Chain A
Amino acid sequence: MASVKKTLLIGLFFAAVCVGGFFVYINAAFPTVRCEAAKVTHLNAPEDLSDCASCHAKTTPRDAQDWKESKHGVLLVKCFVCHGQPDGKGAIPFNAKPEYKTVCGACHEPAMNRMAAKYGEVGDCHTCHPRHQNPIHRNAFEAKTVTDKTSF
């Protein structure tokens, strides 16, 4: 009886060491890459990192791709126009969820007023216009020349 228990305990201990060692190894081998997004706050981001999109293409690829293919992406309404600059030193205060009336309204006030007149105050834009994506009514301007050749 005692020897089975002892074997079990030794086995458990051995497994724990292996698993623990595995995790320690992973942490050491991939110190920042394993979850690139989680530990990088914007204040760690390199000083010379130009636009938001290049890093967000890696950290939040879904949103970055959505934006790139959306109307805002085609028209180069870049991230900071709505979201500001994340280190807080920008002209626009940083916000992960922009305030609709002032931020969206800076360009889209006529359309927002038309919508409000037709359907009443909705309170937010992104219920129907999913963040960064095409509006529900039409496809965005479809990218017509998706190729990496420079001549036709």
Chain B
Amino acid sequence: MTILRRDFLKGTAAAIALSVLAGPVRAAQSGGGEEKWIKGVCRYCGTGCGVLVGVKGGKAVSIKGDPRNHNQGLLCLKGAMLIPVIYSEDRILKPMIRKGGKNDQLTEVSWEEALDFAANPFKKALAEAGPASIAYYGSGQALTEESYVANKMWKAGFKSNNVDGNPRLCMASAVAGYITTFGKDEPMGTYNDIDAASCFFIIGSNTSEAHPVLFQRIAKRKETSPDVKIIVADPRRTNTSRIADVHVSFKPGTDLALMNGMAHVIIREELDDARFHGKYCNFVKGNDPVNFEEYKKFLDDYTPEKVESITDVPAATIVKIARMFAESKGTVSLWCMGINQRVRGVWANNLIHNLHLLTGHICRPGATPLSLTGQPNACGGVRDVGALAHLLPNGRMVENEAHRKEMEALWNLPPGTIAPKMGRHTIALFEGMTAGDVKAVFIHCTNPAHTLPNLNKLTKGLQTAFVVQTECFKTAETLKYADVVLPAAFWCETDGVYGCTERRYSLTEQAIKPLGESRPALEILMDFGKRVGVDPKLIPYQNASDVWEEWRLLSAKSVYNFAGITRARLKKESGVKWPCPTENHPGTYLRYVRDDDPMVPKDHPNKVFFYGKPDGKAVIFLRPYDPPFEPADAEYPFVLTTGRVIDHWHTATMTGTVPELRKAYPGAYVEINPEDAKKLSIVNGDPVVLETRRDKLTFPARITDTCMPGLVFTPFFDPKLMVNKLFHDAADPISKEPEYKICATKVYKVS
């Protein structure tokens, strides 16, 4: 039987096409045939949805929501499309170094060579210039075990407090807000409160795009109980407002006045809970205690009429939302970067807490101020672990001698090991790098060359200091400055814990082997540390479970106690909420409440005990309105703000690898209100220049009534149009968090 070559080739072509029908065409999101489902947490936002990764033949082939975690099986579009990110061509799979300095190319080398090349400059800097000359810049996306080990290596091993991370840029104000008001960080309520609330006050948050699954939960609450009221306060009318009963557009930066105005109305109409705030609150102005009468007098400056003149919100609306907030059976407030990323971010946080403390909408089901965390592990990995320049684990402070002594005892360190002064917070760190005081920096799991404020100024530091970076994706802007690039294993290629917004710790188990030559970041950190010279006895861990064991036992010596959340329990359950002191404790719903919170003694005389404060009382602060650092003026007449879109996570190194998400938003644009566009003769699609005192960039215009007149918005994900170049780096004096939300800009069409 003879077969013509031509026919053979045709048959082969047909066979290949047939095989594609069954095989790889479906591999990206195949259904069916999964051999096992591995439990984990979504890689993206601080909602912390549980996921199940379907594995077949050693490859991750599909993903679905974990029905037993708080999201009950639901996912948003980013989480639903995580699988293709793992296998993207953009993955960095081999270590790389720049042998000849910053102007050289990155060349692939072995791990041995890369790690030695990385460690030597740190050794040298330590020997010649001391611990203040090296730094670690970490991330709210790193696993808890990684952040814990890095923090310990630096503060206890190298004796350097230069440990900071990108939560400084997003959650620091919320942290300081909780600590100044309540004495301890982290929310007192949970997502369960959403299911019981009668009123939602959403301010400075585009929940529908930044925390989509929580938005679903809020919408569902309203759907099942139509009396539920939703107030959305935001200078932009985003998709979040589609379910709002009232949308309040206030002049950017005036929300402090708005909230004081609400407090004024609440007290004037006697809707405050005098019994609650009389029993559980102190009033403080600056550092001085005052009383309720003085607080009332302070609020005389915030009558609805006066607030209207500051905020452009009609007085009647202020009265309306104040009544809605106070009269409801239970009010939940949610906020995110609109409140935190401000020069008065801490004050803005305090003012939200004030409203809840005044009305007693706190520490009971359906009533709580719930700060939305942006990143998946800013809470568990950075805030609780204390991986910031001024913190030590479990809420301790570097500059508190008693706290340092406690940590030295817990970590078996000679007294005096931990340096007494706080290290460099993020902006100070990059300024120190520019000045040459910080000579070497280890950057883990974040992309500062894209996300720092005032980029042109602060990236100078990356050009002078020696930069070691762990990174998974080739598109990260920071790679342009890295001297050493170490490929970390990505997400479910290793195991570790994430702690999300609601104090819930959930475990991502390893689903597949690390791709290429990538290694778990925990191993990289320890290997690197040992080569620099850290005492191996400080980091005697074989794997992440060992780290977790030490960390959970350590937490028992604090009120952030989660000793009952063992690795075994994390494997069995889909997340547990701390405080959780013992293995049979179910986890805590209402914190600070007797009989709910195990940290409150069972025989405590009061129902609510803010044990973070010496006298058990929370603080209502008298915070005046203070305008933003750079409001609009005659020369720069528009306010520029920035934020996220649902399809892209931060700098789009991950979401940009998914074609559907990339196509949904291929690039940045500027949102302009139709009234403003008409005055400037701009139509949809026109190239528009945004010029600030720092730099200027050209964006395509998108005419929409999302922004109020006088405000323009551009998303920050696009590496070709990094809007952070336009922003200043003014920061909150308490939290050191920069004001990414407001700067002044010119807007004009390219001629």
Indicate yes or no for A touching B, C-beta below 8 A: yes
Show the binding face of A for B, using Cβ within 8 Å.
48-51, 71, 74-78, 80-81, 84-85, 89-93, 99, 101-103, 105-111, 138-141, 143-145, 148-152
Contacts known (A91-B84, A99-B31, A141-B222); A50 close to B312, Cβ less than 8 A: no
B312 touches A151 (CB 8 A): yes
Instruction: Enumerate 8 A-B pairs (CB-CB under 8 Å) in ascending A order.
Output: A50-B663, A76-B76, A78-B647, A80-B663, A90-B660, A102-B62, A106-B65, A150-B673
Residues on B with beta carbons closer than 8 Å to the beta carbon of A149 = 705
B223 touches A141 (CB 8 A): yes
5 shortest interchain CB distances as A-B pairs: A102-B31, A91-B84, A80-B660, A151-B249, A110-B67
Residues on B with beta carbons closer than 8 Å to the beta carbon of A78 = 77, 647, 664
Residues on A with beta carbons closer than 8 Å to the beta carbon of B707 = 150
CA distance A26 to B217 in the complex (A): 52
CA distance A141 to B658 in the complex (A): 29
A92 touches B28 (CB 8 A): yes
CA distance A146 to B419 in the complex (A): 57
A76-B77, A92-B28, A150-B673 known; 10 other A-B pairs, CB under 8 Å? A74-B239, A81-B660, A84-B660, A85-B659, A90-B659, A99-B31, A109-B67, A144-B243, A150-B705, A152-B314
B664 touches A80 (CB 8 A): yes
Residues on A with beta carbons closer than 8 Å to the beta carbon of B11 = none
B83 touches A91 (CB 8 A): yes
CA distance A145 to B666 in the complex (A): 29
Tell me if A's interface is mostly helix, strand, loop or mixed: loop
A151 touches B29 (CB 8 A): no
Segment 26-77 of B: residues with Cβ below 8 Å from A = 26, 28-32, 62-65, 67, 72-77
B683 within 8 A of A: no
Show the binding face of B for A, using Cβ within 8 Å.
25-26, 28-32, 62-65, 67, 72-77, 80-81, 83-84, 208-209, 212, 215-216, 219, 222-223, 230, 236-237, 239, 241-249, 312-314, 317, 646-647, 658-660, 663-666, 673, 705-709
CA distance A145 to B218 in the complex (A): 16
Contacts known (A91-B83, A92-B81, A93-B29); A150 close to B65, Cβ less than 8 A: no
Chain A's closest residue to B51 (CB) is A106
B67 touches A107 (CB 8 A): no
CA distance A148 to B706 in the complex (A): 9
B65 touches A107 (CB 8 A): yes
Residues on B with beta carbons closer than 8 Å to the beta carbon of A75 = 76, 208, 212, 215-216, 219
CA distance A121 to B223 in the complex (A): 27
A106 touches B664 (CB 8 A): no
CA distance A93 to B84 in the complex (A): 12
Question: Within the complex, which residue of A110, A111, A152 is in contact with B247, where a contact is CB–CB below 8 Å?
Answer: A152
Residues on B with beta carbons closer than 8 Å to the beta carbon of A84 = 29, 660
Residue of A93, A103, A105, A140 with most chain B CB atoms under a 10 A cut-off = A93
B317 touches A91 (CB 8 A): no
A50 touches B74 (CB 8 A): no
B32 touches A102 (CB 8 A): yes
Residues on A with beta carbons closer than 8 Å to the beta carbon of B219 = 71, 74-75, 141
A106 touches B28 (CB 8 A): no
Question: Within the complex, which residue of A74, A107, A139 is in contact with B242, where a contact is CB–CB below 8 Å?
Answer: A74
Residue of A91, A140, A143 with most chain B CB atoms under a 10 A cut-off = A91
CA distance A48 to B247 in the complex (A): 33
Residues on A with beta carbons closer than 8 Å to the beta carbon of B647 = 78
Chain A's closest residue to B665 (CB) is A50
Question: Within the complex, which residue of A50, A51, A138, A150 is in contact with B709, where a contact is CB–CB below 8 Å?
Answer: A150
CA distance A51 to B32 in the complex (A): 28
Residues on B with beta carbons closer than 8 Å to the beta carbon of A81 = 77, 80-81, 660
A109 touches B73 (CB 8 A): yes
Chain B's closest residue to A48 (CB) is B666
CA distance A77 to B647 in the complex (A): 10
Chain A's closest residue to B658 (CB) is A91
Residues on B with beta carbons closer than 8 Å to the beta carbon of A150 = 236-237, 247, 249, 673, 705-709
